[in-house]
Structure 1
């Protein structure tokens, strides 16, 4: 009896036909929402920080997710097969910036919600992500002044922490040597995005540093 119920359920699902109008709307809406996310991403990451391949990834992930969820929606056998397939998949590509995950999950969320015809929810998701991300753009691009103190085995005459960061205006205020350790004090003007790049570079070089904003 139990086996017969499962067989009848699978047979009914296999015979189910898709609403091609909803499928077309889902793909079109996912595509346009992906374009919006790509635009916001390109506003957030400009110049050398922009990964053009990642822009294409944002767009394609949503479309692939829409097709995938449409295929397995309401189909028990395909759903179970997909769970088994995804359980053995390993993604080893490193994410260079944590905010990249926001755009990836946003694109996936749009693909899933559009595939099940929750068009209003996907639109709200896209608008929310875009507004928050654009707010981050304005806050990251806001310049401010800060004091940077660097300590380490530094060549005072040759080392300049701003050689690779032309968007940071830095001025050396003092330099003192304590044994093998040199302490340099800089006053700088920058924005949050370039400051994070400078901090990452100092960490890679193994220097100890302190930062304090100037009110």
Structure 2
């Protein structure tokens, strides 16, 4: 007698036992969801603590918590039956994410929340808890080791009469010219500079030059399109 079970037999057996998931322990389900919630809240805290962008998005951060819990629920579902797992793969294949991710670290947090959900859904609670703790400590350490210099964009709009004096003042500041727009009535300069502290006295010095219309200093944390 051939005791070999091929994929077709396994599929039929799985299809005939669709009620197998009814034996899932409610305690295990609640424990998995609560653990994934704890991991997600820890990711929420680390993201808020280490955020270095311009505008913090609460909804974007809260999505990591829900992503971790939903992933855990998916893993618990597909682990009970092969038919359900194939159906889940087919359903997820039609999902398309079109949200642009500007910061590469945001992708890291996405994978972290998904990995936490997979670990809790598979009942690997030590992996989820210890792994998340180590990753969180590493991210906190890297955020403190980050160079304190912050990039800024200095936008100056001036007339032609202020060009000479403005060049003299700008030589005292380490900067990189990013763009120069010449119009009929004024010239607009955009330069990139880095600051270690909040000393912005040079902005008032530049704005006091005769012929300078306005000066704007903007914190810059993205890729500059040249």
Alignment TM-score, normalising by the size of structure 2: 0.66
What is the RMSD of the two structures over their aligned residues, measured on CA atoms? 3.5
Structure 2 CA distance for aligned equivalents of residues 115 and 23 of structure 1:
9
Within the alignment, does 1:128 sit opposite 2:158 as a pair?
Answer: no
**Aligned pairs for 1:131-210 within 5 A:** 131-140=137-146, 142-143=148-149, 147-150=174-177, 152-153=179-180, 159=189, 161=191, 197=221, 200=223, 203-204=224-225, 206=226
> Structure 1: any 5+ residue segments left out of the alignment?
173-193, 207-215
Structure 2 CA distance for aligned equivalents of residues 151 and 46 of structure 1:
22
- Number of residue pairs matched by the alignment: 179
* Higher radius of gyration, 1 or 2: 2
Candidates 49, 71, 76, aligned match of 1:65 = 71
Equivalent position of 1:10 in the other structure:
15
Q: 1:5 to 1:26 in 2, by over 3 A?
A: closer
Within the alignment, does 1:35 sit opposite 2:47 as a pair?
Answer: no
Aligned structure 1 segments of 4 or more residues deviating by more than 6 angstroms: 165-168
Equivalent position of 1:181 in the other structure:
none
Q: 1:157 to 1:166 in 2, by over 3 A?
A: farther
Q: 1:26 to 1:122 in 2, by over 3 A?
A: same
Q: 1:72 to 1:153 in 2, by over 3 A?
A: same
Once the two structures are superposed, residues 39-61 of structure 1 have per-residue CA deviations (whole angstroms, 9 ceiling, x without a partner) of: 11001116743111111101100
Q: Tell me, yes or no, if the aligned pair for 1:162 and 1:168 is still in contact at 8 Å.
A: no
Structure 1 CA distance for aligned equivalents of residues 132 and 177 of structure 2:
42
SS at match of 1:161: strand
1:69 positional shift = 1.2
Q: Tell me, yes or no, if the aligned pair for 1:35 and 1:59 is still in contact at 8 Å.
A: yes
